[in-house]
Structure 1
Amino acid sequence: MGLRHICFGLVAILALCLSEAQWQRRSTPNQSSVPKRFENGIPQIPQRFDPSSPVFARQRFSAPFPVQTPARSDIGKPSQDLLGVQTKELLLGPVQKLMWSFPSLPEEPQQPDVPFDLRYPVPANSVAARCAENSGYVEVMQDFFGNGKPLRSSGFTLGGCTAAGGDTSAQVLIFESELHGCGSTLKVTEDELVYMFKLVYAPQAVSYGVPIVRSSSVVVGIECHYSRKHNVSSDALMPTWIPYATSEVAEEIFVFSLRLMTDDWRFERPSNQYFLGDIINFEASVQSYSHVPIRVFVDGCVATTVPDVASVPRYSFIENNGCLVDAKLTGSRSRFMPRSQGDKLQFQLEAFRFHQADSGLVYITCILKVAAATTPISPEQKACSFSANGWVSADDSHQVCGCCDTTCSTRSGSDQILKGLDLFH
């Protein structure tokens, strides 16, 4: 309505100005200062131009320019539109308050407590070895970890030698080597010649171009022991026969393991990270295919900063055929736990690090050995810890620990001891 007021007001003003100009021309028809004719819509300038006489003369109005104002109504009466256009606004009532709001996000249901027991891997009986007079034979199951997933045969080597054959249906690889072949090393003791092999598994990529593996590398130590002493006398031989049980143990195949355990000794510890002052729980165990009772021992353990046991620095904390000397040397809480099973031996080691070592990694290499449970505890087969009261045995045979402060001699006799090397990182 306001816009219409303005438009009609302007029309009225222009019409009024035009009428006033016509009235002045009628009253003064002979004024020479006003141009009489326009060409092309442009006023012509006179021939004789006088600055005092402008081309466009200012028009004069007898009355002031009329201003139109909107009419006002009395109080309580509607206003009247001069142009006859009446605008009405109809209110339908009071405006209700807006009650809309943003919808709330749906709540996710809370998951109830789910009973969960972490399954820890069980050592698999996947390696068997046999030592002949001049050679050694090793059989390896391709389901090496016992998880139902056979590994590629190309990942297994015996001292750098690939498998000589195998049984495809049974998924078994066979390695054969002379005692001096396939990277074997010879160790000579007072009574034995020991030929040592290393069965290595190196994981390979699951697929070409995919930089992941789904298995870990493994090194299994295999040893062949041969006695250095033989009777060459021409006299009649009077042999002392080895008992049948002991003979069975000597010919059996054993699977050794060395694991980190939780504080309650119930499970294998899922992490190998420790802080200084923590107690590390180790469990050495052996599995046998026969039912002959056996007993496992930790013959020695060495800590190094790299996997090489001959590297420097290194720290021997179990030595002398089963003497845990860490508590005596450093005053720590390291000790063997009292034995509860013959095929298991548990010990504790207080965490440490090497002085001035750049890395916090510590590699532990232990030599495990097994003997028949009927064999008595001896200075060569023992598990001794140092305490305030002296040396004590994990098998309650404390008298055998007396040599831990000196040298425990190697006994030459009929005891058949099989040794296994287990690397733990």
Structure 2
Amino acid sequence: MMAFIWHSALLLSLAAVIAVYADVKLDCRPDFMSLVWTESRHHADTSLFRLGTCVPTSSSPREATFNVEYTDCNFRMMVTGNKVVQSNDLVYWAPGSQVQTFVHPVICVFDRPKEWSPATYEPVFSTYGQSGLVFHMALMNDDFTGPAESTRFALGSFIPIAARVEEHTHQPMLLLMEECIATTTPQPQSAHFYNIIGNKGCLLDSKSSRSRFQPREVSSEIRLYLQAFKFALEEEVFIHCKLVAWDPSGIDNTKKACNFVKGNGWELVDNPAHSKLCDCCETTCKSRWSRSVRSGKHGIVQNAVLGPLTITEVGP
């Protein structure tokens, strides 16, 4: 019988604040889960809650209830070690409401069945994002022609990572990695982490290594050669990234991809002639009110995770 682990310790800081105004009951079962959100704020409309792509199974003036299977609502499944993790986001979206929009992570963790094993290794993150976009992130082989053949990387070797967004009928999008960190847990909330990308698209690791964003072949994909770093050697490592799909004409100092080139400073991957946009990588790249893909306010953001992978000491 699989056992669930209550996830309150793993909540994002914003979600933790929101939880003060609500009572959350989560019941994780092997094939389905139940969630009851009891709201204390008078202006909240419980019918506006969404669990992934699912509307509430039922709602009342104070409660939103979801009884769903993991095959619905675009749950994300990740297998790590002897655990199976099913995760999703509970979102409150009410433009113009007195209750602020927020996201509350929902996580169910089970013991992995002994008979379970993957048919092939394919460390791909995939989910359904806003506006019909599908995001992917994967560990790749050296020339990016297929998935990585191993999850073990020697210290100093390169870890090829590719992320892309499927646009379908959507207008062309520019995919960016806004933030990436490495942790030893499937969740990004960890006291022990290594900062890879930060400051709105600056490859911070490139200042002390040979890590590089690669020149683009298409705007909807971004490739990264990450030099294996000295972090949690011989332990399970997870790479968490915030992916951003953006209007290609709307690049600014908060929507960019920048490498550090020794002796030359920061360089903009998509157009080195405009590398001045990367100058803030040494300070703080502040957000600006920018033109949106859809409404003039923001792009489309999706969190992704890769792992587990292992960084090993270089052999004799």
**TM-score, length of structure 1 as denominator length:** 0.46
Deviation at 1:133, TM superposition (A): 8.2
CA contact (8 A) 2:133 2:166 kept: yes
Structure 2 equivalent of residue 318 of structure 1: 197
Deviation at 1:195, TM superposition (A): 2.5
Write the letter of the residue equivalent to 2:306. F
| Cα distance change of structure 1 residues 288 and 133 upon mapping to structure 2, 3 Å threshold | farther
Q: Percent identity?
A: 27
Write the letter of the residue equivalent to 2:279. G
Mark the runs of 5 or more structure 1 residues left unpaired by the alignment: 1-131, 141-159, 167-171, 176-181, 187-191, 224-250
Deviation at 1:318, TM superposition (A): 0.3
Deviation at 1:280, TM superposition (A): 0.9
Q: Could you list the per-position Cα deviations for residues 53-82 of structure 1 after superposition, in whole angstroms to 9, with x for gaps in the alignment?
A: xxxxxxxxxxxxxxxxxxxxxxxxxxxxxx
Structure 1 equivalent of residue 114 of structure 2: 211
Please tell me whether residue 297 in structure 1 is matched to residue 172 in structure 2.
Answer: no
Structure 2 equivalent of residue 163 of structure 1: 68
Structure 2 equivalent of residue 370 of structure 1: 245
- The structure, 1 or 2, with the larger RCO (C-alpha pairs under 8 Å, 6+ apart) is 2
CA contact (8 A) 1:222 1:420 kept: no
| Cα distance change of structure 1 residues 202 and 254 upon mapping to structure 2, 3 Å threshold | farther
Q: For residues 133 and 338 of structure 1, what CA distance do their matches in structure 2 show?
A: 45
Structure 1 equivalent of residue 306 of structure 2: 424
Deviation at 1:134, TM superposition (A): 2.7
| Counterparts of residues 191-210 of structure 1 (less than 5 Å) | 195-198=102-105
| Cα distance change of structure 1 residues 312 and 382 upon mapping to structure 2, 3 Å threshold | same
Write the letter of the residue equivalent to 1:371. W
Write the letter of the residue equivalent to 1:423. V
| Cα distance change of structure 1 residues 199 and 289 upon mapping to structure 2, 3 Å threshold | farther
Write the letter of the residue equivalent to 1:213. W
CA contact (8 A) 1:139 1:174 kept: yes
| Cα distance change of structure 1 residues 199 and 255 upon mapping to structure 2, 3 Å threshold | farther
Write the letter of the residue equivalent to 2:269. A
CA contact (8 A) 1:380 1:409 kept: yes
- Of residues 173, 176, 192 in structure 1, which corresponds to 2:72? 173
How well do the aligned residues superpose, as a CA RMSD in angstroms? Answer: 3.6
Please tell me whether residue 351 in structure 1 is matched to residue 228 in structure 2.
Answer: yes
**TM-score, length of structure 2 as denominator length:** 0.60
Q: Could you list the per-position Cα deviations for residues 71-110 of structure 1 after superposition, in whole angstroms to 9, with x for gaps in the alignment?
A: xxxxxxxxxxxxxxxxxxxxxxxxxxxxxxxxxxxxxxxx
Q: For residues 335 and 139 of structure 1, what CA distance do their matches in structure 2 show?
A: 35
Q: For residues 204 and 311 of structure 1, what CA distance do their matches in structure 2 show?
A: 21
Aligned length: 222
Please tell me whether residue 381 in structure 1 is matched to residue 255 in structure 2.
Answer: yes
Structure 2 equivalent of residue 395 of structure 1: 270
Deviation at 1:213, TM superposition (A): 2.1
| Cα distance change of structure 1 residues 271 and 220 upon mapping to structure 2, 3 Å threshold | same
CA contact (8 A) 2:176 2:201 kept: yes
CA contact (8 A) 1:280 1:350 kept: yes
Deviation at 1:211, TM superposition (A): 3.2
Q: Could you list the per-position Cα deviations for residues 142-170 of structure 1 after superposition, in whole angstroms to 9, with x for gaps in the alignment?
A: xxxxxxxxxxxxxxxxxx95318x9xxxx
Structure 2 equivalent of residue 264 of structure 1: 143
CA contact (8 A) 2:124 2:139 kept: no
Please tell me whether residue 361 in structure 1 is matched to residue 236 in structure 2.
Answer: yes
Deviation at 1:317, TM superposition (A): 1.4
| Cα distance change of structure 1 residues 394 and 194 upon mapping to structure 2, 3 Å threshold | farther
Secondary structure in structure 2 of the residue aligned to 1:423: strand
Deviation at 1:139, TM superposition (A): 4.2
| Cα distance change of structure 1 residues 288 and 137 upon mapping to structure 2, 3 Å threshold | farther
Mark the runs of 5 or more structure 2 residues left unpaired by the alignment: 1-45, 55-64, 75-87, 93-98, 293-297, 308-316
Q: For residues 108 and 169 of structure 2, what CA distance do their matches in structure 1 show?
A: 27
Structure 2 equivalent of residue 333 of structure 1: 210
Q: For residues 324 and 270 of structure 1, what CA distance do their matches in structure 2 show?
A: 25
Deviation at 1:196, TM superposition (A): 2.4
| Cα distance change of structure 1 residues 342 and 220 upon mapping to structure 2, 3 Å threshold | closer
Please tell me whether residue 405 in structure 1 is matched to residue 282 in structure 2.
Answer: yes
Q: Could you list the per-position Cα deviations for residues 125-152 of structure 1 after superposition, in whole angstroms to 9, with x for gaps in the alignment?
A: xxxxxxx983226448xxxxxxxxxxxx
Runs of 4+ displaced beyond 3 Å: 137-140, 172-175, 182-186, 197-205, 214-223
Structure 1 equivalent of residue 186 of structure 2: 307
| Cα distance change of structure 1 residues 300 and 163 upon mapping to structure 2, 3 Å threshold | same
Write the letter of the residue equivalent to 2:140. M
CA contact (8 A) 1:196 1:222 kept: no
